[in-house]
Amino acid sequence: MEEAAEVEEVSAPYEEESPSREDGDEHRQDEPWTVNRAAYEQDAKSAAREDTHRKKKVTETAAAAARAARVEADRKVRKDAKAAARVEGEIKKAREARMEEQRRAREAAEAAARAEEERRAREAAEAAARAEEERRAREAAEAARA
Protein backbone atom coordinates (compact mmCIF):
# COMPACT_ATOMS: atom_id res chain seq x y z
CA MET A 1 0.00 0.00 0.00
CA GLU A 2 2.80 2.39 0.93
CA GLU A 3 4.71 1.50 -2.24
CA ALA A 4 1.71 2.26 -4.42
CA ALA A 5 1.45 5.75 -2.91
CA GLU A 6 5.16 6.26 -3.47
CA VAL A 7 4.87 5.20 -7.11
CA GLU A 8 2.00 7.61 -7.66
CA GLU A 9 3.98 10.46 -6.10
CA VAL A 10 7.05 9.70 -8.19
CA SER A 11 5.19 9.28 -11.47
CA ALA A 12 2.92 12.33 -11.06
CA PRO A 13 5.43 14.97 -12.26
CA TYR A 14 6.04 13.05 -15.48
CA GLU A 15 2.43 12.99 -16.59
CA GLU A 16 2.14 16.72 -17.18
CA GLU A 17 0.83 17.79 -20.50
CA SER A 18 3.38 18.72 -23.07
CA PRO A 19 3.08 21.98 -24.94
CA SER A 20 0.78 21.73 -27.90
CA ARG A 21 2.20 20.58 -31.15
CA GLU A 22 2.59 22.88 -34.06
CA ASP A 23 0.22 20.88 -36.22
CA GLY A 24 -2.67 22.27 -34.18
CA ASP A 25 -3.64 19.14 -32.31
CA GLU A 26 -3.78 20.64 -28.83
CA HIS A 27 -5.35 17.58 -27.21
CA ARG A 28 -2.54 15.27 -28.15
CA GLN A 29 0.23 14.75 -25.57
CA ASP A 30 3.77 13.70 -26.18
CA GLU A 31 4.87 10.52 -24.45
CA PRO A 32 5.97 11.26 -20.87
CA TRP A 33 9.44 9.72 -21.34
CA THR A 34 10.21 12.14 -24.18
CA VAL A 35 9.07 15.20 -22.25
CA ASN A 36 10.90 14.43 -19.06
CA ARG A 37 13.64 12.17 -20.38
CA ALA A 38 16.28 13.58 -18.02
CA ALA A 39 14.03 12.98 -15.03
CA TYR A 40 13.39 9.39 -16.15
CA GLU A 41 17.11 8.81 -16.64
CA GLN A 42 17.86 10.31 -13.23
CA ASP A 43 15.22 8.06 -11.66
CA ALA A 44 16.66 5.03 -13.46
CA LYS A 45 20.14 5.87 -12.20
CA SER A 46 18.76 6.39 -8.71
CA ALA A 47 16.89 3.08 -8.85
CA ALA A 48 20.04 1.34 -10.10
CA ARG A 49 22.04 2.86 -7.22
CA GLU A 50 19.40 1.75 -4.74
CA ASP A 51 19.35 -1.72 -6.26
CA THR A 52 23.15 -1.90 -6.08
CA HIS A 53 23.06 -0.68 -2.49
CA ARG A 54 20.36 -3.23 -1.64
CA LYS A 55 22.38 -6.04 -3.28
CA LYS A 56 25.51 -4.90 -1.44
CA LYS A 57 23.58 -4.86 1.84
CA VAL A 58 22.27 -8.38 1.16
CA THR A 59 25.78 -9.57 0.32
CA GLU A 60 27.20 -7.96 3.47
CA THR A 61 24.43 -9.49 5.56
CA ALA A 62 25.08 -12.91 4.04
CA ALA A 63 28.82 -12.55 4.62
CA ALA A 64 28.22 -11.50 8.24
CA ALA A 65 25.91 -14.47 8.74
CA ALA A 66 28.53 -16.79 7.22
CA ARG A 67 31.22 -15.32 9.48
CA ALA A 68 28.99 -15.74 12.52
CA ALA A 69 28.27 -19.34 11.52
CA ARG A 70 32.02 -20.02 11.10
CA VAL A 71 32.79 -18.44 14.47
CA GLU A 72 30.04 -20.48 16.12
CA ALA A 73 31.26 -23.68 14.43
CA ASP A 74 34.85 -22.96 15.51
CA ARG A 75 33.68 -22.31 19.08
CA LYS A 76 31.76 -25.58 19.07
CA VAL A 77 34.77 -27.47 17.70
CA ARG A 78 37.00 -25.97 20.42
CA LYS A 79 34.42 -26.83 23.06
CA ASP A 80 34.16 -30.41 21.76
CA ALA A 81 37.96 -30.69 21.67
CA LYS A 82 38.15 -29.47 25.27
CA ALA A 83 35.54 -32.00 26.31
CA ALA A 84 37.40 -34.77 24.47
CA ALA A 85 40.68 -33.74 26.12
CA ARG A 86 38.99 -33.70 29.50
CA VAL A 87 37.59 -37.20 28.90
CA GLU A 88 41.00 -38.42 27.70
CA GLY A 89 42.57 -36.90 30.82
CA GLU A 90 40.04 -38.67 33.03
CA ILE A 91 40.69 -41.95 31.21
CA LYS A 92 44.44 -41.47 31.63
CA LYS A 93 44.01 -40.71 35.35
CA ALA A 94 41.80 -43.78 35.79
CA ARG A 95 44.36 -45.93 33.94
CA GLU A 96 47.19 -44.56 36.10
CA ALA A 97 45.14 -45.14 39.26
CA ARG A 98 44.43 -48.71 38.18
CA MET A 99 48.12 -49.31 37.42
CA GLU A 100 49.07 -47.81 40.80
CA GLU A 101 46.55 -50.06 42.53
CA GLN A 102 47.91 -53.10 40.70
CA ARG A 103 51.47 -52.10 41.65
CA ARG A 104 50.48 -51.77 45.31
CA ALA A 105 48.68 -55.11 45.22
CA ARG A 106 51.75 -56.72 43.62
CA GLU A 107 54.02 -55.16 46.26
CA ALA A 108 51.68 -56.31 49.04
CA ALA A 109 51.65 -59.85 47.60
CA GLU A 110 55.44 -59.83 47.34
CA ALA A 111 55.73 -58.55 50.93
CA ALA A 112 53.32 -61.27 52.11
CA ALA A 113 55.32 -63.89 50.21
CA ARG A 114 58.57 -62.61 51.78
CA ALA A 115 56.98 -62.62 55.22
CA GLU A 116 55.73 -66.18 54.67
CA GLU A 117 59.15 -67.24 53.45
CA GLU A 118 60.83 -65.61 56.45
CA ARG A 119 58.33 -67.28 58.81
CA ARG A 120 59.01 -70.70 57.25
CA ALA A 121 62.75 -70.09 57.41
CA ARG A 122 62.43 -69.05 61.06
CA GLU A 123 60.29 -72.12 61.83
CA ALA A 124 62.76 -74.33 60.00
CA ALA A 125 65.63 -72.74 61.94
CA GLU A 126 63.74 -73.20 65.19
CA ALA A 127 62.95 -76.83 64.31
CA ALA A 128 66.59 -77.38 63.43
CA ALA A 129 67.66 -75.74 66.70
CA ARG A 130 65.21 -77.93 68.65
CA ALA A 131 66.40 -81.02 66.81
CA GLU A 132 70.00 -80.08 67.52
CA GLU A 133 69.12 -79.42 71.14
CA GLU A 134 67.29 -82.75 71.43
CA ARG A 135 70.23 -84.53 69.80
CA ARG A 136 72.63 -82.97 72.28
CA ALA A 137 70.30 -83.79 75.16
CA ARG A 138 70.15 -87.41 73.96
CA GLU A 139 73.88 -87.55 73.56
CA ALA A 140 74.30 -86.07 77.02
CA ALA A 141 71.82 -88.59 78.44
CA GLU A 142 73.63 -91.44 76.68
CA ALA A 143 76.95 -90.18 77.90
CA ALA A 144 75.56 -89.91 81.40
CA ARG A 145 74.30 -93.50 81.26
CA ALA A 146 77.47 -94.83 79.93
pTM (2 d.p.): 0.41
pLDDT digits (tens, 9 = 90+) for 10-24: 554 544 444 544 554
**43-67 burial string, b = 16+ CB within 10 Å, else e?**
eeeeeeeeeeeeeeeeeeeeeeeee
Q: Which residue has the higher pLDDT, 34 or 96?
A: 96
Local confidence band at 124 (pLDDT 50, 70, 90 cut-offs): very high
